[in-house]
Structure 1
Amino acid sequence: MRVGITGHRGLGADVERRVREMLVEAVSAYDAAELVGVSCIADGPDAWFAEAVVEHGGRLEVVIPAAGYRDALPERHHVTYDVLLGQASEVHETGMGESTSEAHMAGSEILVGLSDVLLAVWDGKPARGFGGTADVVAYAERSGTPVRVLWPECATR
């Protein structure tokens, strides 16, 4: 089972805790021997999901939206990014150089294409910018990839 992830970054501590629990629960429902997690490993849900997949014993595949993607992520996340990238069994790239919204969406489209199901840490609201979580969910739905939304009750961004 190939499971992709998309989700909001910059969540508060309480929402983060609850989302992490939801991701661990979702990942634990899959047979570790058959689980392939697909992630862009950005800070937030992408990385939390990837960590849960690896801890569960599944394989991790990483999609890199652009050559400059890592450097565009918060510096505090670089060590986690590097560790997760090092644990990837396969890495997919868009071939784009600059880490732009267009590159992020291109990476998400590859991710959706590789996934049997997409987990979306999504509050159900429109994207704040092109390539946001809502855009990825809409793309998955148009592509026929099932989407499972994970969002804590009464949580806000």
Structure 2
Amino acid sequence: MTGTSSNVPGLVFTVAVTGHREIGGGLEDAARKERETQLRGTIARVLARSVETLDTLQPASPLDAPRGRQLRFLSALAQGADQLAAEAALDLPGWQCEALLPFAPDAYRQTFLIGDSALDTASQDRFDSLLPRMHLTFAIDDWRWSQPVAEGYGSNSGKTAMEERHWRARRYATVGDMLVRRADLIVALWRGTPPGGLGGTADVVSQARRSGVPIVWINPDAPEDVHSITPDPRTAHLPILEVARRVTNEAPGESTPGGSGMDR
């Protein structure tokens, strides 16, 4: 946190991540790990350049110049994009990292078991490693499904399984809503694919655009492919929009329009 006047509330800059759970799918293990390293590097550069831009813009604002500053990073810690981004933020100085979980941690980690592959087990191990490192954890702990999760979305059949899938989707949607409401900037690891259902990344991006939250769009299959997505101009927070543009080196008018859809 930077220095602050005791009479002026501090400035809080919050970045949230959304993105695909599958990163580097189809790649050999070594290539997948290299892709993850590249993506962590890109995310770290986005966060670092955000701070550099704030260092430039804040002193120029009579309102914000005397204020201290706090940097916050939000992640749901799902496998894939959420975990990669959390790792990148935790390795940078000055960022307070928070986990927003749709279920209690023990139940949530079960949802990572898409089959019995080592990769899925690794996602659980990663989650277990990241959670204690987060500065704050908020979990929506008001529901448990009736049986342990298997094959990704539960081992129940019939009506119960459908109800549980729907309830999980609603919980993901709730967390997505929380991310957008708190974020000044969204980092989205997105292939540009259409929605995969309620509560996925598509909902987060679409809601962010409607709510005026700028988005830095990183292609997870091409880590150096970074763009800004301009939100609805009627709701956009112009100073933060400038942060997104400077982070991606895009001039006004060059922002990628972006679709409303992406799968989780």
Q: Please classify the TM superposition score into its range, dividing by the shorter chain length.
A: 0.7 to 0.9
Structure 1: how far apart are the matches of 2:50 and 2:215?
A: 16
* Contact map agreement 1:118 1:148 (CA 8 A) in 2: yes
Matches within 5 A, 1:94-109: 94-98=140-144, 100-109=168-177
Superposed CA offset, 1:67-113 (max 9, x none):
22122123322222122211122222334425712211111111121
| Equivalent in the alignment of 1:123 | 191
The code of the aligned residue for 1:2 comes to: T
The alpha-carbon deviation at position 130 of structure 1 amounts to 2.0
Farther off after superposition, 82-91 or 93-102: 93-102
How do 1:55-94 and structure 2 match up within 5 A? 55-57=91-93, 58-67=95-104, 68-73=107-112, 74-94=120-140
Which 5+ residue runs of structure 1 have no aligned equivalent?
none
Find the structure with the greater CA-based Rg.
Answer: 2
Cα offsets for 1:11-35 (capped at 9, x unmatched): 2226544433321211222449732
Cα RMSD between the aligned structures?
2.3
SS in 1 for 2:130: helix
Aligned mates of 2:188, 2:142 — CA distance in 1: 24
Tell me if the contact between 1:3 and 1:38 (Cα under 8 Å) persists in the aligned partners.
yes
Matched-pair identity in %: 29
Which one is further off, 91-100 or 38-47? 91-100
Q: Is 2:23 aligned against 1:11?
A: yes
Task: Please report how far the alpha carbon of residue 36 of structure 1 lies from its aligned counterpart in structure 2 after TM superposition.
Answer: 1.1
Indicate yes or no: 2:79 matched with 1:43. yes
| Paired residues of 1:96 and 1:103 also in contact (CA < 8 A) | no
- Kept in 2: contact 1:94–1:106 (CA 8 A): no
Structure with the greater relative contact order (CA < 8 A, sep ≥ 6): 1 or 2?
Answer: 1
Distance 1:10 1:136 in 2: 17
CA contact (8 A) 2:36 2:84 kept: no
CA contact (8 A) 2:19 2:189 kept: yes
24-33 or 74-83, larger mean C-alpha shift: 24-33
Partner of 1:145: 213
Looking at structure 2, the residues matched to 81 and 60 of structure 1 have their Cα atoms a distance apart, in angstroms, of 14
Q: What is the CA–CA distance in structure 1 between the aligned matches of 2:18 and 2:142, rounded to whole Å?
A: 20
Identify if the C-alpha distance between structure 1 residues 15 and 101 changes in structure 2 by more than 3 Å, giving closer, same or farther. Answer: farther
Larger deviation: 91-100 or 40-49? Answer: 91-100
The answer to whether the 8 A contact 2:23-2:81 is kept is no
Q: Distance in 2 between matches of 1:2 and 1:20?
A: 18
Tell me which residue corresponds to 2:42.
22
1:2 alignment partner, one of 4, 10, 14: 14
What is the CA–CA distance in structure 2 between the aligned matches of 1:82 and 1:61, rounded to whole Å? Answer: 15
> Displacement of 1:7 after TM fit?
0.4
Q: What is the rounded CA distance, in whole Å, between the counterparts of 1:31 and 1:144 in structure 2?
A: 20
